Amino acid sequence: MFCSSEEVSDVAACSKRRVTEEDPVKDDLKKSRVEESEVENTDGQVVEGGGQQASRSDEVKAEVSPAIWFLLSSVTFYPFYLFFFAMSSDSSPPPLAPFDHRIVTPKPHQIATYYTINRDEVLGGGRFGQVHKCMENSSGLMLAAKIIKARSQKEKEVVRNEIQVMNQLNHANLIQLYAAFESRHDIILVMEYVEGGELFDRIIDENYNLTELDTVLFIRQICEGLQYMHKMYILHLDLKPENILCVSRATNKIKIIDFGLARRYKPREKLRVNFGTPEFLAPEVVNYEFVSFPTDMWSLGVISYMLLSGLSPFLGDDDNETLNNILACQWNFEEEEFTDISDEAKDFITRLLVKSKSWRLSATESLKHPWLSDQSLHYRLNQKVVKSHDINLFF
């Protein structure tokens, strides 16, 4: 456990920290990526007649009131709204792995006989090793190889558990296992490779402004993956933005990775976690109480909060303060980052960041919540983005 119950009663003030390294300029936050590129396109198209277009636009502006001008531009751009909405609210699942689901048993062979691991290309560093890009020699298939140091039988058992869990999971939002190799010092998992980087990078990237609608699409897919896992009676127990990978830079499709802590639900199992950042831990994990399906749902609440605001809801000045904030369930929407966020989004988070496990929404209930399911809300969220784009174009 991280802290005693006495420490908990002395709850430190919740000092939420921005996930970005530097505070972005406020105006930049308001710009969406689409908006920026559209402005560029428009600039590009009017290079020759730019002055003419600008002066005509100024004349009209002088004669027509802003409200009417806004209405006119809305009508002109209506087809664009529809197209943009269809594109940006695409709710189709991500592409399946480029191979059929398979049951993997670790082979005692040398991996180099079958695969070429690109040791120079590190996709990520994990708790127990590194992940590299690799290629299957016979097919040319690009994959990811997670090399996990495991010397003792106990360490090997932990990795075998990860393999066993992945063997049971066949879903487009969950990364798929292709092969495994076991040697004296390590076990290597060969997995489906995705190239879009961690969702975490999108939160901290100042050039990529996540809109609320983007967040809806991300959270809905995480929920789909979780709903499937929970139906299979499996808990992930380590959900955080680092463990959500984007399929590509261009789309909002994601896959959940890292089943290192995942396990079959056992009614009276506790989980001891004493590594890494505690920001995402549910109160029952901090308190070393029974973990269950709602434990993952708490993490989903934290991820939703972070994606919408770039802030970490429980992060304190040190780990102890963070843990105290979690145990006191001390969080709020007071930061200015939440000013423009919908009531539905706030309601969704409020129903997940609940200290008592049994009161949290399940994955199935979450998918039915208006924030994730109400099409007219999604249309409104989309219009907000397009309107701000419109205003930037004409005023």
Is 146 one of the annotated binding-site residues?
yes
Give the x/- contact pattern for ligand ADP in 94-123, rule: CB under 6 A: -----------------------------x
User: For residue 342, what are the CA distances in angstroms to 146, 215, 306?
Assistant: 39, 12, 15
Report if residue 193 touches ligand ADP, rule: CB under 6 A.
Answer: yes
Report if residue 260 touches ligand ADP, rule: CB under 6 A.
Answer: yes
3-state secondary structure of 80: helix
Distance CA 353, CA 303 (A): 11
Residues in region 125-184 near ligand ADP by CB under 6 A: 126-128, 131, 144, 146, 175
Report if residue 124 touches ligand ADP, rule: CB under 6 A.
Answer: yes
* DSSP conformation letters of 162-212: HHHHHHH---TTBPPEEEEEE-SSEEEEEEE---S-BHHHHHH-TTS---H
Q: How far is the CB of 50 from ligand ADP (least distance, A)?
A: 43
Report if residue 299 touches ligand ADP, rule: CB under 6 A.
Answer: no
Report if residue 257 touches ligand ADP, rule: CB under 6 A.
Answer: yes
Q: CA angle, corner 336, sides to 223 and 325, nearest 5?
A: 65
Bridge-based pairing state of the strands 311-312 and 17-18:
antiparallel
How many other CB atoms are found less than 10 A from the CB of residue 124? Answer: 15
How many other CB atoms are found less than 10 A from the CB of residue 68? Answer: 11
Residues in region 198-217 near ligand ADP by CB under 6 A: 198
CB of 249 within 8 A of CB of 197?
Answer: yes
- DSSP conformational letter for 362: P
Q: How far is the CB of 191 from ligand ADP (least distance, A)?
A: 4
Query: Which one among 188, 191, 226, 303 touches ligand ADP, defined by CB under 6 A?
Result: 191
Distance CA 374, CA 96 (A): 26
Q: How far is the CB of 223 from ligand ADP (least distance, A)?
A: 20
Q: How far is the CB of 100 from ligand ADP (least distance, A)?
A: 17
Q: How many residues line the site for ligand ADP (CB under 6 A)?
A: 20
Q: Which of 214, 238, 258, 296 is catalytic?
A: 238
Query: Which one among 32, 88, 209, 243 touches ligand ADP, defined by CB under 6 A?
Result: 243
Distance CA 301, CA 355 (A): 12
Q: How far is the CB of 246 from ligand ADP (least distance, A)?
A: 10
Q: Would residue 238 show up in a list of annotated catalytic residues for this protein?
A: yes
Residues that bind ligand ADP (CB under 6 A): 123-124, 126-128, 131, 144, 146, 175, 191-194, 198, 242-243, 245, 257-258, 260
Active site residues: 238
